């Protein structure tokens, strides 16, 4: 099961982007409700390796479940 980046918790640090072995993490199109950049995980590409969760310094920004209700995914 893919992981999820919580849109309104993410602070745009982007350590997860460089760490992801399958390049499934992409920038959001605009700022989140905190006014920061944010990223989202493409569930169809994610291999559930958990590296993003390990490297993210923002507590609660990534959850180890597929939760589309917590992650804005650009159309």
pTM of the model: 0.93
Q: Which of the four pLDDT bands, split at 50, 70 and 90, describes residue 74?
A: confident
Query: What mean pLDDT comes out for the span 45-58?
Result: 97
Q: Which of the four pLDDT bands, split at 50, 70 and 90, describes residue 42?
A: very high
- Residue extents of the structural domains in the chain: 1-63
Determine which helix (DSSP H) or strand (DSSP E) holds 1, and give its type and residue range. none
Is CATH 3.30.1490.20 the classification given to domain 1-63? no
Q: Which of the four pLDDT bands, split at 50, 70 and 90, describes residue 75?
A: low
| Ramachandran sector of residue 40 (left: φ over 0; alpha: ψ -120 to 50; beta: rest) | beta
Sign of CA dihedral 56, 62, 65, 68: negative
Q: 29 pLDDT exceeds 80?
A: yes
């Amino acid at each position: 099961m893919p992981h999820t980046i919580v849109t309104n918790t993410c602070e745009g640090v982007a350590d997860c982007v460089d760490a992801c072995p399958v390049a499934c993490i992409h920038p959001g199109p605009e700022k989140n409700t905190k006014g920061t950049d944010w990223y989202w995980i493409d569930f169809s590409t994610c291999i559930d390796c958990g590296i993003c969760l390990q490297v993210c310094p923002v507590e609660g920004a990534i959850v180890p479940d597929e939760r589309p209700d917590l992650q804005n995914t650009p159309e």
